[in-house]
Every structure is written in structure tokens, then in C-alpha cells.
Amino acid sequence: MKPINPQTLIQDDFEDAINQAVNQVKQSPWLKKTIESLKIKESEIHQHLSTLLKLESDAQEVEQCRLAGKCLKPQGHYVVSMQRNAVGFLERKIAPCPLLDDQLKVSRFLIYDDFNADWKDSKLFESLKQRDGQKALYMYLMKVLQRQTTDGLALIGPHQSGKTFALGIFAYRFALNELGTVGLLDFNLQLPRLVSTKKSDGLGFSRELERLQKLTVLILDGLGSQPISEDMLIDVLIPLFIARQKQGLITMVTSTVPIMQLEGLFKGYKDKRMLMTDWLNLVQIITKPIHLPAMMPL
């Protein structure tokens, strides 16, 4: 008896899966309008299959949002769409969920990945006045809201002292009053992702860095929560802070220790350590330190 070649079976299963996915795209009521309006050919469906499947999934989620009357999408509320560029090729485009603008009224100003509904509670913001450690923060943030200062902020305090939560409440109020664009760059999650993007998508990296450089208020959250590499400094942190200093824009950072104590977190060659020192000096120049006591409830 002739043995069965497993390679053939795997190949056949793979082709069957692709054919099923192609048929799913062609028969999808969610994609019918997109396929017809862009005149997408059979060969282009195969070429952009993964994007079209994501487009179908996002279209279903947007419909769920519409029925609920608010945006329900996680991970930043972004959805995929497709368009043809100037030379006629299909390209992928990322945009906020249409329902986000109606839900928050500030989607083009606020860019947090996970929006916390508690930030809308104005009582929490006012409660910052109640204790000495938070009162200084409240007075500073009120000056920013009233356009009385362009000083940055280094909010220093132990874990669970309310640093991120306090600035989240401020960011919502700042955005709601349409005082400008405000955004958060999570040092532990978003920053490493942004650095790695430079290798795979240089143009996307440049656009994102430029956007961060132009935000009216940028909050760098969790500074020092992980080692700081040479690539982080050269590709993102140094050009980001220099650009914002030149434009006189407000930059806020949160940290569990004073800024200069972060120097030991540099991860790279010794001859590059001076870059870390120079950047920390720049952070100190453009930010004003405010210390929060431990476990301070909001």
C-alpha cells in the first residue's frame, strides 16, 4: 500500500481555507458596498484578504455600536477601511469608530486606548483640592485649563497614588472644553510598540511621532516602568521632547521616583549613557515636579 503524503493534505486544507475566506468576502453583505464602490477584482480580494476580513469584522462591530447608541469597540475604538490611492492601488486606512464622536464628543482630542468612564466625574477632579499632596496638582491643572501656564509636569509618587487617574480626569476635562489636543503615551506598552514600528512601517512611525510632537498636551505615563533603550532615546524620546520644547507645548510625565534617579535604567553601551543624562536634564527643564503621597485616594 502506497503511503499517504501528509504534505499534500496540508496544502489542500490550506487552499480550502483560503477559498472559503474568499467566498465569505464575496458573499458578505457588510462588504458588498465596499467591493462595488471600489470595483475590487477577484485578484485583489486574494491579495488583500486579511484586510477585507478585518473590514468585515469591524463593520459588524460598528453596527453593534449603532444599535447600542454608543461605541462599544475596545482597543482604541479604531476601525479599518479601504480606499484607492492616487495610482489606483488599494490601501488600508485606520479611522476612529464613527460612534465614538457622538459618545464622548471629544474623540478627535482624546486618544487614550481604554477610555475610563469615571474620568467624566467632575467631583473626582474637584476632590484633588482636599489634601495637601493633591492640592498642588489641582492648582497646577486649573492653571493649564485656564491657559495661565505652559509649564510641564513631572508627577511623582508611588504605585496606586492616583497619578494616572488624576491626569485622566484632567485630560477628559481639557478635551471636553476643546482647549486643544491631548493624548497619552504609555511608557510600558505603547512606547515599545512605537519604537518597533519604525522597522516595519517607517512612514507610519514618522506620522505617529509627528502627531505626538504636535499635541497640545502630551502625557507620558509610567516613566521608568521598564529599562530605557538607546533606540527609545534616539528614535522617540529625544526628538519628541526637543520638538515639544521648541513649540512651547505642555508635556506631563508620571514616575515613581524623581527624574534624575531614572538614569540607572538606561540599557545600552556606556558611551551612549550621556544621551540618557541629557534627556533627563531636558525633562527636568520643561517639567515642574509635584509629589503625591502614598495611597492617596481620589
Q: What percent of the chain has pLDDT over 70?
A: 77
Cell triple for 225: 516602568
Query: What's this model's pTM, rounded to 2 decimal places?
Result: 0.60
Amino acid 9: pLDDT = 47
CATH number of 117-291: 3.40.50.300
Q: How far is CA 85 from the centre of its chain?
A: 26
Amino acid 112: pLDDT = 43
For 245-279, what is each residue's pLDDT tens digit?
999 999 999 998 888 888 888 877 777 788 888 99
C-alpha to C-alpha distance for 252 and 167, rounded to whole angstroms: 9
> Residue 91: enclosing H or E segment and its boundaries?
strand 90-96
> Domain residues of the chain, as ranges?
6-104, 117-291
Residue ranges, the chain, pLDDT below 70: 1-14, 68-78, 96, 99-126, 130-133, 176, 178, 294-298
- What are the Cα distances from residue 14, in Å, to 3, 9, 17, 21, 201? 21, 9, 5, 11, 28
C-alpha to C-alpha distance for 228 and 194, rounded to whole angstroms: 13
Amino acid 252: pLDDT = 94
C-alpha to C-alpha distance for 186 and 196, rounded to whole angstroms: 14
Count of other CB atoms within 10 angstroms of residue 91: 10
HSE of 275 in the Cβ direction (CA atoms, 13 Å)? 21
Amino acid 251: pLDDT = 95
Give me Rg for the CA atoms of the chain.
24
